[in-house]
């Protein structure tokens, strides 16, 4: 279960972003991966066999935590562990591989 350390810490006012259409509360400075884990979401995407995959290295190396973030009319693939949360950000789990996911 994910949780935030709340004793002896200070956080900026919370913001919300959406993940697969669900509102997630987070604090500026957190990464998408951290905020989703804190919201008890571990499955970020599905592998080719249909199994759930989520953050593994949490430092930008393994690409297990890739997510898609809306950028105008298209979606960009990002690593959840390196991408900061932002108010109003639309995030979704990775779709089946198509070329240029970021251009669809």
Least Å from the CB of residue 74 to another protein: 10
Q: Tell me if 99 sits within 8 A of 83, measured CB to CB.
A: no
18 vs 77 by CB, closer to another protein: 77
3-state secondary structure of 6: coil
User: Is the CB of 66 or the CB of 89 nearer to another protein?
Assistant: 66
Residue 58 CB, shortest distance to another protein, in Å, is: 16
For the CB of residue 66, give the shortest distance to another protein in the complex, in Å. Answer: 7
62 Cβ contact list (under 8 Å, min separation 6):
56
Site residues (CB under 8 A) for another protein? 48, 63, 66, 77, 97-103
Classify burial at 44, counting beta carbons within 10 Å of its beta carbon; exposed 0-12, middle 13-18, buried 19 or more.
Answer: buried
């Amino acid at each position: 279960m994910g949780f935030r350390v709340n004793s002896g810490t200070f956080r900026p006012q919370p913001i919300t972003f959406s993940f697969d259409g669900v509102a997630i509360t987070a604090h500026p400075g957190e990464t998408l991966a951290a905020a989703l884990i804190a919201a008890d979401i571990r499955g970020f995407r599905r592998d080719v066999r249909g199994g759930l995959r989520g953050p593994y290295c949490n430092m930008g190396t393994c690409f297990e935590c890739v997510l898609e973030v809306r950028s105008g009319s298209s979606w960009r693939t990002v690593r959840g562990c390196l991408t900061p949360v932002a108010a109003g950000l639309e995030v979704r789990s990775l779709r089946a591989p198509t070329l240029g996911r970021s251009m669809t």
